[in-house]
Amino acid sequence: MAQAQAEADRFDAIVIGAGAAGLMAAATAAQRGRRVLLVDHARNPGEKIRISGGGRCNFTNLGVEPARFLSGNPKFCISALKRYTQWDFIDLVTRHGIAWHEKTLGQLFCDGSARQIVSMLVGEAQAAGVRLILGRSVSDITQSDGTYRVTLDGGTVSAPKLVVACGGKSIPKMGASSFGYEVAARFGVPVTETRPALVPLTFAHQELDHLKPLAGLSCPARVGCNGTTFDEALLFTHRGLSGPSILQISSYWREGDSLRVQLAPETDIADALRLARSRRGGQMPATVLSRILPERLAQHVCQRWGGTGRIGDQSETQITALADAAANWVVTPVGSEGYRTAEVTLGGVDTDALDSRTMEVRTVPGLHFIGEVVDVTGWLGGYNFQWAWSSGWAVGQAL
C-alpha cells in the first residue's frame, strides 16, 4: 500500500506554476510520454492569460524576433524562439478553432475571450495526462541522489526533473510571488536585478500640477530614451504618463533618465504653423495646434512655449520654439507605478546560468527555469506570451 502511494507520488517531472509557460511545458512533456505533475498555489490555472489583452489575450506577435526581447544575453532567447515560433502557436490556436485577428503592429488577439486560450492549454495538458494540482502551496524543495522532493501542504512528491515556471512579481493580487527567485537562490543560481517593466511612469508633484488637467487625453507620440524609440499612443494619467509608447519605453528607462517626447510625430508641426501664419494669420497659435493635437493639450503646449499674440505675429524663432514645445518635449519621470500595475518583471534568473536549448541550470542537473522568471523580457504586444510558449515548449522537449 505504502509502496503504491510512493509510486503515485513519483513523476518524471514536476512543474511549479500553471501559468502560460508551465501549462505549455507540462503539456509538451506529457505529449512525449512523460508523467508530469503541474502544481500551482492559485485556485485557477492561467490567471494572467485570462486577464491579458483586456480579456482578449494578445497571444503572440507576427513580428517576433530576438531584438524585441531584453536580456543580459540578447542571444539567449534565439534558440527557443526559433524552435517554437509564433506560427507554431498560431497553428495550435487555429487547430482549436479559436478565432483571432491582428489588431495593430502584428499583435494577435482572440476574437472572443482569453479564456479560450486557457481552456486550450488546460485541455492539451489534461488530454496528455498531466496531473494538475491547484490551490496548494509548495513549502519545501530538496534535492538528493538526482531526485527533487517537493513538499506540498498534504504530502511530498518527487521527480528527477523540476521546472520552475512561477512567473514574475507583477500583480501580487493575482498570485504573483518571488518564489521562483527564492528557488534560484536556494540552488545557488544567480538572479539579475529585477524591476517593474511595461509600467506607467510617474512624475513629481511640481510637474504633475501642470499635467493633471490633461489626465485622460491620448495622442500619437514618439518617445525615446537611452537610444531606443517607440512610435505608439501616449496617455496622460493622474500620476504621470502611460499608454503603449510609455509602457514600452519603461523597460529602457532608469531613475534619473529623461524621456524625449515628440507629440504627433507624423506631422511636421513647424511647417503646419508656418502655413497657418501665411494663410490664417488671425488665428491664435493654440487654435492652429488644436488641429493637430487634442485641444487641451494644444493649450498646454502653448503655455509651455510662453509666447503671446496671433500666429501671424510670430517670428521664425517663435514658430520654431512653439514647434519644439510639442515635438521636442523633455520630461523626467521620478518613478513608476511599480509591480501593482506592471505587466512584467524585467531581469530574473541569469541566462548565463542556463542552457538556452533545455533551460536547464548548467550547475544543477534536472533543474529548469522558464517563462517570465528568467531574465528575458519582451516588448509589449504579445512578445511575453511568445517567450512563455517557446521556453515552455523547449523545456517540454528536454524532460
Per CB under 6 A, which region of 44-52, 231-239, 285-293, 359-367 contacts ligand FDA? 44-52
333 binds ligand FDA (CB under 6 A): no
Collapsing DSSP to helix, strand or coil, 365 comes out as coil
Q: How far is the CB of 137 from ligand FDA (least distance, A)?
A: 6
- For 153-217, strand residue ranges (E) read 155-159, 161-164, 195-197, 201-202
171 binds ligand FDA (CB under 6 A): yes
Which member of 388, 394, 395, 398 binds ligand FDA (CB under 6 A)?
388
Residues 70/346, Cβ–Cβ less than 8 Å: yes
Q: How far is the CB of 85 from ligand FDA (least distance, A)?
A: 15
Residues 322/314, Cβ–Cβ less than 8 Å: yes
Question: Within a 13 Å sphere around the CA of 205, how many CA atoms are in the beta-carbon half?
Answer: 0
Which member of 73, 126, 177, 267 binds ligand FDA (CB under 6 A)?
177
> How do beta strands 195-197 and 36-40 pair?
unpaired
Q: How far is CA 329 from CA 324, 332, 380, in A?
A: 7, 10, 23
Report phi then psi at 182, rounded to 5: -65, -40
Give which of 214, 279, 276, 273 is closest to 240, Cα–Cα. Answer: 214
CB nearer ligand FDA, residue 48 or residue 68: 48
Per CB under 6 A, which region of 47-55, 303-311, 319-327, 351-359 contacts ligand FDA? 47-55
197 binds ligand FDA (CB under 6 A): no
68 binds ligand FDA (CB under 6 A): no
Beta bridge partners, 231, equal 222
Which member of 34, 41, 195, 277 binds ligand FDA (CB under 6 A)?
41
Which member of 57, 125, 150, 249 binds ligand FDA (CB under 6 A)?
57
Beta bridge partners, 228, equal 225
Which member of 11, 17, 117, 347 binds ligand FDA (CB under 6 A)?
17
Question: How would you class 43 by CB atoms within 10 Å of its CB: exposed for 0-12, middle for 13-18, buried for 19 or more?
Answer: exposed
184 binds ligand FDA (CB under 6 A): no
Instruction: State how far the Cα of 176 lies from the Cα of 31, in Å rounded to an integer.
Output: 28
Per CB under 6 A, which region of 53-61, 74-82, 255-263, 318-326 contacts ligand FDA? 53-61
Residue in the block written with cell 496671433: 310
343 binds ligand FDA (CB under 6 A): yes
Instruction: State how far the Cα of 119 lies from the Cα of 112, in Å rounded to an integer.
Output: 13
Q: How far is the CB of 299 from ligand FDA (least distance, A)?
A: 33
42 binds ligand FDA (CB under 6 A): yes
CB nearest ligand FDA: which residue?
Answer: 19
269 binds ligand FDA (CB under 6 A): no
Q: How far is the CB of 108 from ligand FDA (least distance, A)?
A: 10
Instruction: State how far the Cα of 321 lies from the Cα of 326, in Å rounded to an integer.
Output: 9
58 binds ligand FDA (CB under 6 A): yes
CB nearer ligand FDA, residue 264 or residue 399: 399
Q: How many residues are listed for the chain in this entry?
A: 399
Q: How far is CA 265 from CA 84, 232, 346, in A?
A: 36, 10, 28
CB nearer ligand FDA, residue 301 or residue 367: 367
Instruction: State how far the Cα of 20 lies from the Cα of 385, in Å rounded to an integer.
Output: 7
- Kindly report the number of other CB atoms within 10 A of residue 145's CB atom: 5
Which member of 11, 69, 84, 179 binds ligand FDA (CB under 6 A)?
179
Locate 324 and state its grid cell: 519644439
Collapsing DSSP to helix, strand or coil, 78 comes out as helix
Q: How far is the CB of 60 from ligand FDA (least distance, A)?
A: 7
Which member of 13, 14, 15, 18 binds ligand FDA (CB under 6 A)?
18
Q: How far is the CB of 63 from ligand FDA (least distance, A)?
A: 13
Q: How far is the CB of 122 from ligand FDA (least distance, A)?
A: 12
Q: How far is the CB of 19 from ligand FDA (least distance, A)?
A: 2
Report phi then psi at 81, rounded to 5: -65, -30
Residues lying near ligand FDA in the complex (CB under 6 A) are found at 16-22, 40-42, 47-48, 51-53, 57-58, 137-138, 165-167, 170-171, 175, 177, 179, 343-344, 371-372, 382-385, 388
